[in-house]
Structure 1
């Protein structure tokens, strides 16, 4: 039993010793604190802080600070102004860096000026005839428009169709007069007459849009021949009909059904790698236009942009060969810029981040957003949208025209209203912008049209001329009938005696009605921009550290020096160089070892005494 109890007594004795040591340590710490407080009261907090500050100024790595402690009078003021000035300058520049980081965290910079042009989508092209209604298409078939014959009298049906079209194409007054005789001016915009409104109130807006599509110049009539990258291509495969603010037009390489890039055409640089089309204005079909001119309007735009031809299109006259040289700029956003910030912070929308209420495409672009906001403002004001606006909102009818005309008139003059649209729309994060340069020459050449190299162009012109029968004699009319029927056309055109009289007629018809258009990339490389983080974490630390180091010699070690001098050296129990501030306790004798209360006679010495058991 004695042998078993002896280890237990030793363990208890060791625990008691540890407790005594801890108690003494606490008492010493408390005593040092009391001594420090007493000394601070005796010397004063201000004196202690001044003493420590002087020592810090003597030993710090910050430029110029040591002279503040070392020099006196004027020299001290001199260095004080310098240190304060450098501190304020560094603070001002650092504030600019930090503020710029939070206000504009992304930066658009040039990544390369030699990005291959064949990696850029070929632009979309919209071609519109200035004429909005073809004479020969009036009136459209009732069965197709209404689903049945409602008006047995063809004259009455024609008049109702014209009234509906006049309302749909209502425009501003020109010189105090409207382009349509049945209309009247009110202020700067046209209003339909009471009789016109009465005859059209029972035609639904959807049928009005269908009438517009059926009576507009069709793409088959307007686009004669097409070459894509030097190869003959059926125009019907390249162009489709699209509703625009200038009526129904022909659209090339535009994709609105989805945001995918499938089917988007790409090309190289130069005329042979672009699009070439021959277009026919058919001036003899003109019935209604808002311009006192004959020709086309074209617009080169992004493949997902809704075309606003009337506002931004370029006029093309007949009798010209037009060369449209296109340059492009592409901007893309890096993945880290996309994931690190909200759209407002990075100042752009990704494709999936913004759904447009009024759009024919799911692809977000700035142009589509602005048009959608305009349509929404019109819905809020009038409860309907103009015929050309995208989406599925209700189309304005005759009773809505006063509100519609007033709004569009107000929009064209009130820049504050347009500014509101911009507040809700941001650029697309990934976008391609196109710019154009136009040059032209007379088309066709009377001297060269007989050249065998241009025989295809001559055949196309003669075919169009024969279809119109304008300036064609009775004998030539017979020949045209054979050409249009496709019977012996090659033989007729190969016979000089038959074709010789057709040359001047073809030249005259082409100069009055036709134009040749070339659209191509001007250069084989473009500028590509990158939207990325303005500063990464390591860059902003480097910028701030560089400014502090340049102006003040401040570094990360300087920060720890501040902690050392003004925290650690003022804390209880500090030693070494901090002994000047924190008092050091005088050595005291070691306390006598008291016998353990658990020590029993004959059990042996306390644990740790080194004496063997008795």
Structure 2
């Protein structure tokens, strides 16, 4: 069959050579023709491969920017943390004296069992630098306690005096949700509900406090508070704090409040941007946002190329919604559990997972400080995590107003800290990534390369098909004609033979 095909191609391609009687010239012509076709096919394959790599492996990605109304995105969640030592261990003397052995005997004489119970809370939320000293001082004498229960009962000389939304005074209990961070319990504005964030069926009962959050309609207004307020410029949020009585601040933070800005469907983590508000000051923050979108023509590319996940491509164990920050936080949690045998108190966990005590503080702190290097260098960690951004994502950040009132004494009759925030502009930028070199461009380039190297087009295909069809019909007709001639000759021979016999 192959031999017949080669013979047919030889007749079809080199039919014009029949007029040349010199066999050497005919074979030389065939050889040069084959070489020319070989070079053309090689060039075609080489440049076609480059075009394929440009389309499939290294696509040309561009970004288009357009303005959209800020009301098209949700208002961010804002978490407020107070860096204070619990009041249960404030005994009239500075807690720092206890660790620095200043008048230790005098201090110890005034210490109660409550002090020793709550000292691990203060150390893990505020005084991490004293963890090893605290372990030496109280580690052997302390009775076993429920860390999370004590953490929930910790008290601070810190209250919310005033909360406002859309320039209307509302109940702080209705506006703020209690959330757990590495500072202990903080308060978050505009966060979604517990069952919308967590995979509650596998989460430890220690996080049940999220279920008790209150978010009711204010009695004074007709505004119904929902977990995703639109990010209109009029949707401003302000809060006033007051510190009452004796307070001791976390030394590594100073006299500042910590603010964490994140999306409403996330809990605050160390992987979110944080800002500080100086105590007894009035600060106005502007919110800037940017929307990142990936065009659907990138969907068929691998995650390594587009560097993001479309919805549903990556699932998290403890959270219903995927985000890069939550993925990093869950990955850090899993690695901490594997190395330390426990998790930090604010990390998501199952009921049978142990909460780290003072003896494990150094372990999880080392992991936290070295995490960027661990995540990049450790193959097992990076392979399990692969925390990329969602393909559709919103980035929030604060911009501090330059002209701020230095002291709240000018506004209020008592010492307090006030901050107010709203969107800076009515419009925000939407950045859309899309592939410039699409499959249509690839097909067009391949068509151009085929035309360049082989002089080929769709009409050429039609011509070849027609010629091959005609050639096939002629071959079949000739074969049938030859068969009929042979049959006729055989018939005539038989007749002649019979006549001779007679």
Distance 1:99 1:442, change over 3 A: closer
Distance 1:170 1:54, change over 3 A: farther
Match of residue 397 from structure 1:
357
1:91 aligns with 2:43: no
1:165 aligns with 2:62: no
1:430 aligns with 2:392: yes
1:555 aligns with 2:457: yes
Normalised TM-score (structure 2) = 0.68
Q: Deviations over 1:107-152 (max 9, x none)?
A: 97656612222111111111222x232437869xxxxxxxxxxxxx
What is the DSSP-based 3-state SS (H/G/I as helix, E as strand, rest coil) of the residue aligned with 2:194? coil
Paired with 2:402 and 2:244, the residues of 1 have a C-alpha distance of 21
Contact 2:157 2:247 in 1 (8 A): no
Count of residue pairs the alignment pairs up? 431
The equivalences for 1:423-572 within 5 A come to 423=383, 424=385, 425-443=387-405, 449=410, 458=411, 461-462=412-413, 465=414, 509=415, 513-529=416-432, 535=438, 541-542=443-444, 544-549=446-451, 553-559=455-461
What is the DSSP-based 3-state SS (H/G/I as helix, E as strand, rest coil) of the residue aligned with 1:436? strand
Match of residue 209 from structure 1:
151
Paired with 1:156 and 1:56, the residues of 2 have a C-alpha distance of 112
How far residue 347 of structure 1 moved from its aligned partner, in angstroms, is 5.7
How far residue 583 of structure 1 moved from its aligned partner, in angstroms, is 11
How far residue 207 of structure 1 moved from its aligned partner, in angstroms, is 2.4
Point out where structure 1 has 5 or more consecutive residues left out of the alignment.
1-32, 58-68, 140-152, 173-177, 184-189, 450-457, 466-508, 595-614
Q: Deviations over 1:342-372 (max 9, x none)?
A: 9789764455554423x3x421212111110
Distance 1:387 1:418, change over 3 A: farther
Distance 1:551 1:399, change over 3 A: same
1:302 aligns with 2:302: no
Paired with 1:362 and 1:161, the residues of 2 have a C-alpha distance of 35
Q: Match for 1:365 among 301, 323, 342?
A: 323
Paired with 1:299 and 1:560, the residues of 2 have a C-alpha distance of 67
Contact 2:70 2:426 in 1 (8 A): yes
Match of residue 574 from structure 1:
475
> Which stretch of the first structure deviates more once superposed, 156-165 or 583-592?
583-592
Match of residue 374 from structure 1:
332
Point out where structure 2 has 5 or more consecutive residues left out of the alignment.
18-25, 92-108, 198-224, 492-502
Contact 2:288 2:399 in 1 (8 A): yes
Paired with 1:445 and 1:410, the residues of 2 have a C-alpha distance of 38
Normalised TM-score (structure 1) = 0.57
Match of residue 229 from structure 2:
265
Larger radius of gyration: 1
Contact 1:320 1:442 in 2 (8 A): yes
Distance 1:307 1:363, change over 3 A: same
Q: Deviations over 1:236-279 (max 9, x none)?
A: 2221221112332221112152449963110323xx44223334
How far residue 294 of structure 1 moved from its aligned partner, in angstroms, is 0.7
Distance 1:353 1:441, change over 3 A: same
Distance 1:298 1:405, change over 3 A: closer
What is the DSSP-based 3-state SS (H/G/I as helix, E as strand, rest coil) of the residue aligned with 1:113? strand
Q: Deviations over 1:454-505 (max 9, x none)?
A: xxxx4xx22xx2xxxxxxxxxxxxxxxxxxxxxxxxxxxxxxxxxxxxxxxx
Contact 1:90 1:551 in 2 (8 A): no
Paired with 1:572 and 1:84, the residues of 2 have a C-alpha distance of 30
Distance 1:409 1:121, change over 3 A: closer
Paired with 1:398 and 1:562, the residues of 2 have a C-alpha distance of 82
Paired with 2:454 and 2:127, the residues of 1 have a C-alpha distance of 68
Paired with 1:302 and 1:526, the residues of 2 have a C-alpha distance of 17
Paired with 2:258 and 2:486, the residues of 1 have a C-alpha distance of 107
Q: Deviations over 1:69-93 (max 9, x none)?
A: 9x989x9999879846852553233
Match of residue 120 from structure 1:
73
Q: Deviations over 1:297-348 (max 9, x none)?
A: 21222112231258731222232423323122143675x977x789789764
What is the DSSP-based 3-state SS (H/G/I as helix, E as strand, rest coil) of the residue aligned with 2:265? coil
> Which stretch of the first structure deviates more once superposed, 109-118 or 386-395?
109-118
Distance 1:535 1:385, change over 3 A: same
Match of residue 291 from structure 1:
252
Paired with 2:486 and 2:179, the residues of 1 have a C-alpha distance of 103
Contact 2:282 2:407 in 1 (8 A): no
Match of residue 176 from structure 2:
239
Paired with 1:258 and 1:301, the residues of 2 have a C-alpha distance of 18
Distance 1:273 1:306, change over 3 A: closer
How far residue 531 of structure 1 moved from its aligned partner, in angstroms, is 7.0
Distance 1:432 1:549, change over 3 A: farther
Contact 1:216 1:248 in 2 (8 A): no
